Amino acid sequence: MTDQESPAFSWTCPQCGRHVPNKFPACRCGRARPETPEPAPVETVAEVQAPPVRRNVRSVLTTAGVALAAALGTFVWMNNRATAPATMAPASGTRGGPVLVVPRPAPDQPPPEPPPDAAADAKEPPESPPDPPASLEDLISHAMPAVVRVETGGGFGSGFFVTPDTILTNVHVVGGNGSVTIRRPDGSTVPGRVETTAPELDIAIVRISNADPHQATLPMGSGTHARAGQEVVALGTPLGLQNTVTRGIVSAVRLVGAVTLVQTDAAINPGNSGGPLIDRAGDVVGITTMSMRSAVAQGLSFAIAIDHARALLDGKRPGQGAGTPIASLNEAMSGAAPSQSDALREQGTRAYEQGIVALARRADALDDYWSNFKRVCYEGRIVGTFGREWFALWDSRAMRGVVSPGCLQTFADIRRVAEDIRNTAASLEEAARRSDVYPGARRDLLRRYRLDYPGWNR
């Protein structure tokens, strides 16, 4: 028996048989220490171990320290094993009042989860990835209930709801009629009143009474901001086949007369007129109006930019007597007259060339001035290849020489003239872009007159 198992230091639990230090009134299993008669006084460690003549003080202190450390370690170990809060329970027949009862963990109970890391809690949750775009099937299924067939006594076409009581279509679909029949995708019909017609835009506004507040509508986007190559879908009633879909891309955005047209290669057939041309976001970019059908013209279809319809709904319309988009487009395609956008581009190209020619004359004069300056006032070399050597003024790494002190004013005059040429070139470039002058045409003119410096706009 070890010293710690001696009755002087511990007692035996009658329930689990463990040896429990005397300082603990209860076992780990929860059993309180049974009543025992007052123990007889025992000799101290010092009296037992010390020799009769001389006590070893260091030995006494060492033994007492070991016993105290063992008791403290046992206490800490027992408390760390606890899996539930300790409770105080009365223990009859024991001294010292209530007994600290530490519940034992169940054999199959998993160890307690460690506390979460505070640093991890402080981190913001990761952002969820953006929602993927809707599939083409979902896009069409949401848009189709807003597309209708517009019927008159002389024919039919397409239209679409932009509000529960407002339908947009073409003027050449409603003709001169004051009322039309609106046939929904489910076959039901409702009368419509032609409220506004704008032949110069080929846009008609039809209103219906007793509108269904749950009627599906299409949001209006922008046709003027459509981009070539952008995917679009045309919905309508081609050749009387209601609920028909064709798909294509935006081929170009053209200004014909006062009307902006969205050109597309999506199939547009008789009966599609007045229907919506929508983008992949489900927004209307145009009202389909015409298609060129001939042996030499394939995939040439056009829609009126929805921006015109939005302005018309707000009470704004272009000047009267401007013709119709169909007539203007036919005239432009027949070669009788160029389209307005082509005319503006041609005019802008001529103006750009005239400006470049005048600028080149000033640059030639500065070339001569620069040659004299370099021979008399500049010591060193110029690194790099430039269309005109004084372009090096704008490259801090090119001029590796020094200017003579007596020529500083002359050098400042050269820089001032060069900056003026640079600002003029930048203005010409901006005006050419606004006139939609082709970048290749601008580049060819700059090279022809030795003004092709890439830093004009910096």
Q: Where are the alpha helices (DSSP H) in 336-438?
A: 340-377, 408-434
Q: Which of 273, 291, 328, 339 is catalytic?
A: 273
Position 138, amino acid: D
10, 158, 202, 251: the catalytic one is 202
Residue 204 CA to residue 352 CA, distance in Å, equals 41
Say how far apart CA 144 and CA 160 lie, in whole Å: 9
Give per-residue burial for 115-144: e unless 16+ CB within 10 Å, then b.
Answer: eeeeeeeeeeeeeeeeeeeeeeeebbeebb
Is 444 among the residues known to form the active site? no
**Secondary structure element (H or E) that encloses residue 269, with its range:** none
Whether 138 is catalytic? no
Rg over CA atoms, the chain: 47
**Neighbouring residues of 299: CB distance < 8 A, sequence distance ≥ 6:** 248, 251, 265
- Residues whose CB falls within 8 Å of the CB of residue 279, separated by 6 or more in sequence, listed in order: 221, 226, 230, 231, 232, 233, 285
For this structure, is 222 an active site residue? no
Catalytic residue among 10, 172, 301, 308: 172
Amino acid at 8: A
H, E, C per residue of 301-351 = EEEEEHHHHHHHHCCCCCCCCCCCHHHHHHHHHHCCCCCHHHHHHHHHHHH
Kind and range of the H or E run holding 406: none
Whether the CB-CB separation of 237 and 272 falls below 8 Å is answered with yes
> Distance between CA atoms of 359 and 370, rounded to whole angstroms?
16
Contact 429, 456 (CB under 8 A): yes
Question: Which residues does 272 contact at the CB level (< 8 Å), separation at least 6?
Answer: 157, 158, 234, 236, 237, 238, 244, 246, 288, 291
CB 152 within 8 Å of CB 163: no
Please give the positions annotated as active site: 172, 202, 273
